[in-house]
Chain A
């Protein structure tokens, strides 16, 4: 049988090489470290690594200006003179104007990261919402956020309350916020709102604010089809750090947490009869429909196809995993 141990000489050579590799690039050619062929190779490696680092930090700097992930979010804007200014929006958003009919049609199959923007009062002096608004809210299936731009005048208060009760995700001031720069905070605020709203009841009432923040951030990333790295980017941190936070808050690791939210999102999308399994899978960030089927089987158990699953089943399974993790964490604490 051949021994796996390396001879002492080879070990020494490798250790010396590793030591040289740890020398920062600016120190090359100084002192005892001569620019040999091997050193030159290591130097090139360092240069490459530094260029990646620089690129990453530049992307992070920009992430304040663009949404979490590099994916572009769609803005479907009602074709109205009050909202035309929003069509100039750039930096992570792609806007297009549609009449009410087109808006309702597209909303049926829109991705969950899309935002539907409407000005529901045809006559600002008469705060009565357009009757097509209800149809639009129904077509969005409660999973695509609807943002209504209304005049913030005293006469409109009752109508605004009614809009929120009818299912509009959020409201904004049409006089002040109907320009690209001003609307950005509101767009960030409505992003992933429907998913957050459906997941929140699954969390225990004893869940800390940090637990909720992590789940909300994961919902935002899942809606964009992002990964654990994107989740870390929300906090300008690393995946490893976020993993540590998840463990501390008795949450599943970031990848698992995102997998749960993707699954809940996909099943929510499937509740609309206009979406096929393949479309819902793609909308929730799965590459293929069979990836969604496998995820449903693995995480919810049983052989029933995704279309037959309900959001409440998925939320129950998620809540049950959180409960068991919490119990495990409690036992670990007690043992410590």
Chain B
């Protein structure tokens, strides 16, 4: 075969034209107010964080709160395992804010899924009660499949990262805390979980947010959903469910996802559909009445309008086994800016 023959054969493999959705997708993803963003986060959110932290946007003290999120699950003996996810340096919290999903199950598994990097990591905390308020605690790394099941909204296949270190089994007293490293970037961020066994239920993560952020935040703590007066079956398990953010959502089997916001940032996909007042959020859409109730306030500031976007095309990841389940969750500001 001559060089020319080979060239002609290779030419048989033709690349298709780019689909029109490539350019269209780029247009819709182009942020309208780039100058006011940092790491893709609208600047006013950052300023609010900074102001509340007393840092006033000076260098790396822009954000000083290292807490990313908090999980809690109740054990058989009535005590709580409270896991607070931390980041060092705290400024990196903004970098990860919109690109990470976190999950916890009732059997003590916690996970981290970085959408942007396509990486994930997770572990299960085994705990055996001993006498005198002590627990024997071990850490088992989760498999990729286990983590995927914990993140039903993510379609990325994901690449499993090992835990930076294999924590040895230990004896822990009630009230004593210990750390488990999740991510350790050389010369970069350290993301770790601070775990404490407690007889007290945890306070809300939301209470740690700056007032400016909290004012625009919706929070669903152990919510229940009624549609046209009928209570919908929620996810089972002993996890204390709390979702909070500028957008919260619920998923209904075969109907997609309903995203709810207090301030939709002029996003035309959201329309004013109802109100939130304390621990009750109600809206009407497409001929149905939806009512969310929570034991704790969903929003601050009395009665306020809510805006809703029904994302009918949204699908729960089939690997999760949760596609037929009513699910609740929250999302960062990115959803408000995506047109």
Q: Do chains A and B stick together as partners?
A: no
